[in-house]
Amino acid sequence: MQGRDSVVPMSFVEASPAVRTRLSRATLRRAMLTAVVLAVLALAAVPLHEELYTAIARTIGASPLAELAGVVAEKGPLVLVATFAVLAVRSWLRDRGALRIMVAGGAGAVVAYLTSELVKLVITEPRPCRAFDVTTVLECPEVGDWSWPSNHSVIAASLATACVLAVPRIIWFVAPVAVLLGFSRVAVGVHYVHDVLSGFALGVLVVTGITVALLPLVDRLYLRLPDRFERTD
């Protein structure tokens, strides 16, 4: 008969439903609140879409920051992709629970992007650079490449959210990068402010929801990995 302090065999621990990844409830609440606030701000920006767009695009376009804004607008997503990749490798080595969250969050980012593309096909909002006489930093996208929501903002918010759900303290890096990337799309003249805010809201909401929904499945698949992957929890 085993004593109260007996060690449970590792094989039982690995096969047990107790190997379950838990998301921080505080982080989830903040994510959902952030999505709601962003959606409200996007709605508030719609009546002022022309004023906000022309003020930002003309100011940046005529300033020494124009070239920098162009670089950020075009290359900014690579910073978040690289951050996601580095964090995934770190999680593989040190924290498999965080890695499983990132797997679910990565799937959420793909769903968010596809959702954004579908919305664009339905709404078909013309780009502001075709609606107003503004000299833009970047060339205006072709007709048919619609404006709402901003895909770059969706991608930025999606990757940032996936990272934060896995490692909450990374928010101090990924959130400013995502915001800078999103609003650089307005600065270079290719998006309205509400395009960007809506993209942020969509990315945060979809990734959070998909992560919560998929995480139990990711956990079950993880338990089936062969021993050579050296699961550590």
Averages of pLDDT over each 10 residues, the chain, 233 residues? 39 43 85 96 96 93 91 93 95 90 96 97 93 88 91 96 95 96 96 97 97 91 66 52
Report residue 154 as tokens: 């969706």
pLDDT of residue 166: 94
Residue 137 domain flag: yes
Provide the CA 9 distance to its chain's centre, in angstroms.
40
- State the Cα–Cα distance between residues 81 and 156, nearest whole angstrom: 9
135 domain residue, yes or no: yes
Whole-number Å distance between alpha carbons of 137 and 73? 10
Distance CA 171, CA 178 (A): 10
Range of the domain at 204: 23-225
- Cβ neighbours of 179 (radius 10 Å): 16
Residue 156 within any structural domain of the chain: yes
DSSP string covering 42-57, please? Answer: HHHHGGGHHHHHHHHH
- Residue 232 is predicted with a pLDDT of 52
**For the whole prediction, is pTM greater than 0.85?**
yes
6 in a structural domain: no
Determine whether 91 is exposed, middle or buried from the number of CB atoms within 10 Å of its CB (0-12, 13-18, 19+).
buried
Predicted local confidence at residue 134, as pLDDT: 86
Under 8 Å between Cβ of 112 and 204: no
The tally of domains found in the chain comes to 1
Q: Is residue 8 in a domain?
A: no
Instruction: For residue 164, give the H/E element and its range.
Output: helix 151-166
Of 71, 20, 80, whose CA–CA distance to 218 is shortest? 20
Instruction: Choose among 224, 12, 227, 194: nearest CA to 100.
Output: 224
* Residue-level pLDDT at 174: 97
